[in-house]
Structures are given as structure tokens and as C-alpha cells.
Amino acid sequence: MGLESLIGGEGFLTTTVNSIVNWGRKNALWPMPFGTACCAIEMMATFSGRYDISRFGAEVVRFSPRQADLLIVSGRISLKMMPVLQKIYRQMPEPKWVISMGACASCGGVFDTYTLIQGVDQFIPVDVYVPGCPPRPESLLDALLEIQNLVGEERLDSGKHGS
Amino acid sequence: MAADMTDTLSPYDSLPEHMRALVTDQVEHQGQLALHCLSADQRSMLEHFRTQQGYDFLVDVTAIDHLGMDQIERFEVVYVLRRLGENSQQFRLHVWLSEDSPDLPTVFDLWDSARWGERETHDMFGITFEGNPDLRRFLMPEDYPGFPLLKDYPLRGIGERRQFPRVVPRGDQMVEEEPADYPTSIGRGMHTPEYTEEVRRDSKPK
Amino acid sequence: MTPNPNSGTRDTPVPSAEILEKELEKGWKSHRAGVRPSQVTEVVEDDGSGRLVMNFGPQHPATHGTLRSIFTLEGETIVKADVEIGYLHTGFEKLGENMTYQQWVTVSDRMNYLSAINNNVGYSVAVEQLLGIEVPPRCAALRVIMSELSRIADHILCVGLQGMDLGAFSVMLWAFEKRELVYDIIEAVCGARLTTSWTRVGGIIRDVPEFFPDLVYSFLDEFPPLVDEIHLMLLNNRIFVDRVKQVGVVTEDQARSWGITGPIGRASGLDLDVRRDRPYLGYDKYDFKVPVQTEGDSFARYMQRMEEIEQSLEIIRQAMATLPSGPVVHDDFKTSLPTKDAVHNDMESLIHHFKLVMLGHGIQPTAGSSIYSSTEAPCGELGFFIASDGSDTAYRLRIRPPSLYNYGFFPRLVEGGMISDAVAVLSSFHIIAGELDR
């Protein structure tokens, strides 16, 4: 019954540092919602009661970039907003991951106009793209699980996060 | 879809004699009245409607660019005026404005809603409203060189949406480099037949 | 009064595309990573007065959307306020000149994304008025029902966010839970939860499913208890009441002069409702009250929205009781798409469909005609000014956003108050950046 009986005996557990760190990181991602437009509403619906994101450990939504590690870019990014997005991205400490949610953030979406950035991945590195306009909350949860897989497969000595 | 003309006199008929000559045209479509006038008479007409006829609600200020369409002038500034209360009425005043001197006197002292209405018209068309206390750029960045809603301004812009660096973490620094190929998925060759073939090959059941 | 030197048009003529390209080559590379200082913050020096210039947004949990305010503070009191918008500007009006009338409906629901159906209905009513066609009564009644459902969703979200901003987080979660009920109905009818693109010129995409009355009646049973629950939570809460009473007072004259419509205007006593004054879609057949408050503070705006929810429920009940049967698309196929059934089976409908959809044919209003048509969106009066040149795309599509004129008054309103009051006022104003910036 419970973890103690599985471990048993003196209670030692052997694993690698990599696995434990990845397990800790992926099950407690702190999202930073960079919500601008319609996708932000679906993101808020994902954080709410019916499509609960706290089942996956990501319920601590932090609006300060210094305290977050998952940037969810949801909504269309215009010319004026791009420097703000880059500043927020710079302010986040490592390790950090980026979900580009929705069609507008991934590729410009419906709007191929003079003022809309045709995909934020030209200017910041993106890990997971979520298609949809807006994507259903289940799609965002799928993206979160995908990020968790990516985090689980990382190697600490890869130098990816500035180490 | 009720018509806006009630039993009271139409805005044109309530104008005094000397002002009716300033109205160059009257257009009625689907029960809505539009009066046309020239830019020199804009201020006096609007003052008259505000003070003498009680049109106390300015619904909207906007403009139309008739580049190359062989109209009276290039710009047509539209004011949608409404009178609230029992004899409620609504009509539009279209002011023709030439492109050689695209400026008009402001009406923010008559209706406060004109402050931002004129600011946005300036931002989108380049029409200046003399006397408006705040004509900074509004929806576009403040140092933007163009006016988007002009007809000779391309829909996709002139390249300003690519004028950013790419911010990537390299080691323990944040480095700025040239933006990635545009669009990124095409830059990685994801649209070629070879890539599709590879995906198909990899996804076949083993 | 000298014109603003930064306006750029005093000495230079209106620039053409070649001039713009040259400007770009000359080095307009000011978009480096990092927020460019605005005119207000750039020239601030420390003059020893102890005043702080604080930036509030565009990325901030308490700004609903991408709104930026720049406050000059003395202690916690706001001495001078300035706002900057445009962080979500997408060029909807320019798209209106390049997309056909049928295509633009998909763009319209990205404006006020909390109640997309009101935008669809507003735009379609405008184009139908331009063409001079009327939708069948069943279509009008269905549009009314869905608009009112969408209005309820918007208002309950506003109230929820107003609660969350002032600390009552549970109210927001309850509001989102009940909003999901509305989403279920919208998804069953339109196919999508948020960006519906439900209306077409002359009608709607298809008739509602057979279980639509069951959905709506079960919603009408489940939803009203929430209104009482929220009142119970918030009205007895001394903190909420103290933070919103007498905060952000908008008088009726100010509302009239600044063009403030919608719940904010009505909370100040300005008795304007497009549904009652200029009825469209058969709103004059339904018997509903237009609530008006007199105080004009944030508390009045909260009560106004709750009362409007009650009235919307009343309209839905009446519309469901009198829902007529019949076609849902206007029968003139020169302007309205025929149903899919007819398109697949009837040659003439196929030809009409082809002509309406292919570029170059499409819907062609009279050249030179223009119309200003307004509907009542949850934020206020949503207006469309459409000027046509006889082709299948609009020549000028102007959107009169309610949030723009509502937000114009905001800087003056918060001057002299405290920052926490500014948060309370902003959340009670319910400015939607998608509609503000278009």
C-alpha cells in the first residue's frame, strides 16, 4: 500500500540524477501565460474547472516571468507586441520551454497582414506548436504532455539550458 | 432594420437657407441619409448640427481613401451623428478632403469622442486634425513611417514584420542573430515531396 | 496649438509605397528586442518631486488583454495617466478590403472573442442592410437566441474577472464553469466553441439540430442559480463592496460626450440600447426591459451586467416560445448561399453557389452605396460602416468598436485615484483588446 511498501527495507531508491531531475521538472511546470487574444480565453478555460490543467502539475500560473518555466504564447502577436514578447522571454530563467498555441502564434494564422508576426518561431525558439483557431483545451493539454515528454528525454549535460 | 428618418424634419430640411448651399449632395440608401460637403465648410456644418440642432452624440469618425477612383477628392471623412432623446435621429456627414492638404479642423471641443476617433483616422490615413491635443500614433508604433489604410499601402506590409532579431539561448547567454527562414517549416524543407515520402516511409507499420 | 511634430504629415506629402521602401532601407530598424520607450516615459527626469512613472502592462495579470497604462504616481495616487493601445492591431479593416463579404465573417469573430456570435450577427446585419435583404423569421429568432446566449457568456465572464481582480477567485472559476454550458450549446449549433463564424449573408450556415430546444431549456434551468450565488458571494463581501462603490464614477453627460455606450453608459444613466432604439432581427417583438442605473460607479456597472443577464434570459425564453419554423436562409440566391442539399441536387443552386463563392463574382452591392449599421454587442454599440464600389469586396469596411470609445475616457477617470482603484475600474470597464485594436 503506497510507495513505502514498494521501496521496502531501509527505503533506498536508486536512479540516475537525470531521471529524477527530469521527473521533477516535467511534473511541476509553472506556466507563464502570454495571452493576447482568443487563444487566451481557451487557455483560461484549460486552467479552469472542466479541463483542469492541475491534473498535470501545471496549475501554478505565474504572471511574472522570473518565476515561470513554460511560456505559452497564445494569441496573435503584432508588431508592437513582439519586443514585449522577446523581453519576457529573455527575463525567464533557464530552463525554459515555449508552447506556441494557436495558428496565429505558430504561423500567422488567418491574418497575413502588415502588422502581424507570421509565426513567433522566427524570433524566439519554440518547442511545441499547437494547431487550431483556437485549439480546444484538450489540444493544449496534449501539448503540455508533449512538453513533458520532451523534458523527460533531456540530458542534463547537453548544454541546452546553459549548463 | 428600422429607417432612421422619423416624422421630424430631415437634417437637410432643418438647415437654414444659407447652409443648404454648402451641402453638395444628398444620398439616401436604405433609409439612411448622407450629406456631402467640402472640407472648408466642415467646421461650420458640424458646429451648426451640434449647437443648433442638438446632435449631441458623435458615433464615429472615419475616412475613405478613393485613390484613383475619379471622385471629387481623394479622401472622404465621414462623421456619424446622432441625436438622442424623443426625436432621435441619425445621419452621416461626408466631407471631401484633398490629398494636397489633408488636414481638417478638429471637433473635439464639440464631442469628446472625436479625440480618439480623429486620432485613429490620423493613424490610419495620415489626415491631420488641427487643434486635436493628442495626435500621436495610436495603433501603429509611434515611429512607423506609413499609413496602413491608404490604398497604395500593401496588405502584407513593406517588410516591417520581419525587422526583429532572433533571440536564442547559447550557452549561458542570450544571443541575437538573424531571424530564421520564413516561414520556418518551409525553411526546413518540410514541404518537399522527399520529406513527405520520408514521413510516409517512417509511419508505415513495421 | 501646434500640431504634433511626430505626426509626420506636416511637411511631407502622403507617402507612397516607393517612399516607404526607401525609409525602410535608410534604417528604420528600431525593433530591437526590448520595449521601446514611449513618448511619455522617455523624457522623464528625476526632478526630486518623488514621483514615479510606472508602466502597467501590456503583459500584466490585471490588464484584460494587451492594454498598457503609464501612470505617474505620487505615493499610491495617480497624478497623471496615459494609455497606449495597438498591441493587438491586426489590420481587420484592411483585410475587409481584400476579402469578400462572405469570407470576412470568419475574421469578425476574432474581434470580441468572448462573444463571437454578436460580431458575426452584427456584420451580417450590416451587409444585409447594405443589400436591402431581410432574413426569414426563423433565422432572425435563432440569431437572437444565440446572440443573447453569447451576451450572457460575455457578461458572466466580465463579472467573474471583476471578482478575480479584486480577490474573489472562486467567482471566476464558477463563471467559467457556467460558461462551459454556453459553449456546449454554441458547439452543438455552430461547430466551434469560440470562433464560430456562424452567420452568412442572408442567413446562417445550417439549421439547428433537433435537440436544440432540450439544450436551451436545460441551460435555462441550470444557469439562473449562478446569478444568485454570485450575488451572495459578492454583495455580502465588505471588501468587494468597498472597493467598487464610488469608484470610477462616470456621469451621464460624460458618457454622452465621450461616446460611451453599452453597460457602462447605461450604468451612468445614458439610456441607449440599439435593440430597443433601432430594432433589428425582430427585437421589437420581444418584451424586455433595458435596465439603467444612475450612480455610474463600478458597483453600478456590476449590477447593470447582472441585470442584463436576467433580461437576456427573459428574451431567450420568449424567443424559444415563439420560434417559428421555416427556412433559415434568404431565398434570393444572388446574395445568399443555397443550402448544401440544394447545391448537390439542383443545377441552378449549384450555379448560384459557384457564382457566390468564386472570386470576381460574389455578392455585388450597388456601386457607390454605403451604410452605417449598428447592433448591440455586450460591450456597447458595435457599428459597421461599409462602403461598396460594386465589386465583391468591400471598398471600405470600418468597424466602430465600442471598446475604443469606452476606453478613451479611462485615463481621465483614474487620475486622482489610487492604483488599486484603477484595477477595479479597468476590470469593470471590460475592455476587449481584440475589438479595441482590430
pLDDT digits (tens, 9 = 90+) for C244-289: 888 889 999 989 999 999 999 999 998 888 898 889 888 988 988 9
What is the reported pLDDT for B174? 76
B32 vs C contacts (CB less than 8 Å): 371-372
Look at C86 and B164 and tell me if their CB atoms are within 8 Å: no
Quote the DSSP letter at residue C240. Answer: H
Best A79, A87, A124 residue to mutate vs chain B (most B CBs within 10 Å): A79
The amino acid occupying position B118 is E
CB C106 within 8 A of CB C125: no
Report the b/e string of A84-121 with b at 16+ CB within 10 A. bbbebbeebeebbbbbbbbbbbbbbbbbbbbbbbbbbb
* Alpha carbons C406 and C428: distance in angstroms, whole number: 11
Whether pLDDT at C109 is above 70: yes
Summarize the confidence of residues A26-53 as an average pLDDT: 89
What is the reported pLDDT for C82? 87
Which residue from B minimizes the CA distance to A122? B180
CB A79 within 8 A of CB B145: no
pLDDT band at C24 (very low <50, low <70, confident <90, very high): low
Shortest CB distance from A83 goes to which of C36, C172, C433? C36
Best C26, C94, C134, C292 residue to mutate vs chain B (most B CBs within 10 Å): C94
Which three-class secondary structure state does DSSP give residue C116? helix
Summarize the confidence of residues C309-325 as an average pLDDT: 93
Could you list the beta-strand ranges (E) of C9-111: 52-56, 68-74, 77-84
In sequence order, which residues have a C-beta less than 8 Å from that of residue C48 and are 6 or more positions away? none
- Its ipTM equals 0.86
Look at B88 and C31 and tell me if their CB atoms are within 8 Å: no
Q: Nearest CA to CA, how far is B204 from chain A (Å)?
A: 22
Residue B86 CB coordination number (10 Å): 7
The H-assigned helical ranges of A8-157 are: 17-26, 38-47, 82-91, 103-107, 137-152
Q: Nearest CA to CA, how far is B49 from chain A (Å)?
A: 38
Summarize the confidence of residues C64-77 as an average pLDDT: 85
Query: Cell 501590456, residue?
Result: C58
Q: By mean pLDDT, which of A131-135, B12-16, C188-192 is the weakest?
A: B12-16
Which residue from A minimizes the CA distance to B161? A117
Q: Which of C34, C41, C35, C37 is nearest to C81 (CA)?
A: C41
Summarize the confidence of residues C375-395 as an average pLDDT: 90
Q: Which of A100, A96, A73, A95 is nearest to A85 (CA)?
A: A73
The amino acid occupying position C97 is E
What is the reported pLDDT for C211? 92
Neighbours of A (≥3 Cβ pairs closer than 8 A)? B, C
pLDDT band at C32 (very low <50, low <70, confident <90, very high): very low
What is the reported pLDDT for C45? 54
What is the reported pLDDT for C37? 36
pLDDT band at C17 (very low <50, low <70, confident <90, very high): low
pLDDT band at C14 (very low <50, low <70, confident <90, very high): very low
A75 vs C contacts (CB less than 8 Å): 88
Q: Which of C244, C171, C300, C260 is nearest to C425 (CA)?
A: C244
What is the reported pLDDT for C393? 85
pLDDT band at A144 (very low <50, low <70, confident <90, very high): very high
Whether pLDDT at C48 is above 70: no
Dihedral sign (CA B82, C67, B124, C116): negative
The H-assigned helical ranges of C166-272 are: 169-190, 212-222, 224-235, 238-244, 252-258, 262-267
| Percent over 70 (pLDDT), chain A | 96
In sequence order, which residues have a C-beta less than 8 Å from that of residue C116 and are 6 or more positions away? C108, C109, C110, C150, C194, C195, C196, C197, C198
Whether pLDDT at C209 is above 80: yes
Q: Which of C196, C429, C220 is nearest to C317 (CA)?
A: C220
Per-chain mean pLDDT for chain A: 86
Which residues, numbered 76 to 135 in chain A, qualify as contacts with chain C under a Cβ-Cβ cut-off of 8 Å? 76, 78-84, 86-88, 90, 110-111, 113-116, 133-134
Shortest CB distance from B59 goes to which of C20, C39, C259? C259
CB B143 within 8 A of CB B160: no
A124 vs B contacts (CB less than 8 Å): 166-168
pLDDT band at C153 (very low <50, low <70, confident <90, very high): very high
Look at B137 and C32 and tell me if their CB atoms are within 8 Å: no
Q: Kindly list the strands in the beta sheet with C396-400, ordered across the sheet, starting from the edge strand earlier in the chain.
A: C370-377, C380-387, C396-400
Distances (CA, A) of C437 to A76, C92, C110, C111, C405: 12, 9, 11, 9, 12
| Percent over 70 (pLDDT), chain C | 88
CA end-to-end distance (rounded Å), chain C: 31
Q: By mean pLDDT, which of A52-66, A147-161, B116-130, C4-18 is the weakest?
A: C4-18
Which residue from A minimizes the CA distance to C94? A113
pLDDT digits over C422-437, tens only? 889 998 998 998 889 8
Q: By mean pLDDT, which of B16-30, B191-205, C7-21 is the weakest?
A: C7-21
- Give chain B's count of helices (H) and strands (E): 5, 9
B141 vs A contacts (CB less than 8 Å): 79-80
pLDDT band at C311 (very low <50, low <70, confident <90, very high): very high
Summarize the confidence of residues B92-121 as an average pLDDT: 89
Which residue from C minimizes the CA distance to A34? C59
Best A46, A61, A78 residue to mutate vs chain C (most C CBs within 10 Å): A78
The H-assigned helical ranges of C259-325 are: 262-267, 274-277, 298-321
pLDDT digits over B17-66, tens only? 888 888 888 888 888 889 999 888 888 888 888 888 888 899 999 999 88
Q: Nearest CA to CA, how far is A73 from chain C (Å)?
A: 12
A67 touches chain C (CB under 8 A): no
* pTM attached to this predicted model: 0.87
| Percent over 90 (pLDDT), chain C | 32
Summarize the confidence of residues C399-410 as an average pLDDT: 92
| CA C404 to chain CA centroid, nearest Å | 10
Quote the DSSP letter at residue C103. Answer: T
- Measured CA angle at B90 (ends B89, B94), to 5 deg: 145
Name the more confident of C407 and A122. Answer: C407
A38 vs C contacts (CB less than 8 Å): 110, 113, 194-195, 434
* Alpha carbons C16 and C2: distance in angstroms, whole number: 25
**Cis (ω within 30 of 0) for the bond into B183?**
yes
CA end-to-end distance (rounded Å), chain B: 64
The amino acid occupying position C51 is R
Quote the DSSP letter at residue C172. Answer: H
pLDDT digits over A100-119, tens only? 999 989 888 888 888 888 88
- Give chain A's count of helices (H) and strands (E): 6, 4
Residue A5 CB coordination number (10 Å): 7
B136 vs C contacts (CB less than 8 Å): 4, 6-7, 39
- Measured CA angle at C294 (ends C289, C297), to 5 deg: 115
Residue C133 CB coordination number (10 Å): 18
What is the reported pLDDT for B2? 41
Which residue from A minimizes the CA distance to C91? A113
Distances (CA, A) of A123 to A33, A87, A97: 18, 12, 14
Best B176, B182, B184, B191 residue to mutate vs chain A (most A CBs within 10 Å): B184
The dihedral over CA atoms of A104, A109, A114, A116, expressed in degrees to the nearest 10, equals 0
pLDDT digits over B107-120, tens only? 988 898 999 999 99
Best B5, B58, B67, B112 residue to mutate vs chain C (most C CBs within 10 Å): B112
Whether pLDDT at C113 is above 70: yes
| Percent over 90 (pLDDT), chain B | 12
Dihedral sign (CA C126, C128, C132, C138): negative
Summarize the confidence of residues C379-389 as an average pLDDT: 92
* Alpha carbons B159 and A78: distance in angstroms, whole number: 13
DSSP result, B55-113 = --EEEEEEEEE-TTS--SSSEEEEEEEEE-STT-EEEEEEEEE-SSS-EEE--TTT-TT
Look at B167 and A124 and tell me if their CB atoms are within 8 Å: yes
Which residue from C minimizes the CA distance to B137? C7
Name the more confident of B194 and C415. Answer: C415
Radius of gyration of chain B (CA): 26
Which residue from A minimizes the CA distance to C85? A80
pLDDT band at C43 (very low <50, low <70, confident <90, very high): very low
Which three-class secondary structure state does DSSP give residue B137? coil
Summarize the confidence of residues C359-363 as an average pLDDT: 75
Whether pLDDT at A6 is above 60: yes
Look at B135 and C7 and tell me if their CB atoms are within 8 Å: yes
Which residue from C minimizes the CA distance to B132? C3
- Dig out the grid coordinates for A148 from the structure: 513533458
Whether pLDDT at B181 is above 60: no
Shortest CB distance from C383 goes to which of B59, B130, B150? B59
Look at B160 and C24 and tell me if their CB atoms are within 8 Å: yes
Which residues, numbered 140 to 179 in chain B, qualify as contacts with chain A under a Cβ-Cβ cut-off of 8 Å? 140-141, 148, 153-158, 160-162, 164-169, 171-174, 179
Best B167, B168, B190 residue to mutate vs chain A (most A CBs within 10 Å): B167
Shortest CB distance from B156 goes to which of A80, A114, A124? A114
Which residue from A minimizes the CA distance to C95? A113
Whether pLDDT at C111 is above 60: yes
Which residue from B minimizes the CA distance to A90? B174
pLDDT digits over B141-162, tens only? 877 878 888 888 877 777 777 7
Shortest CB distance from B183 goes to which of A107, A115, A125? A107
Summarize the confidence of residues C128-138 as an average pLDDT: 91
CB C93 within 8 A of CB C108: no
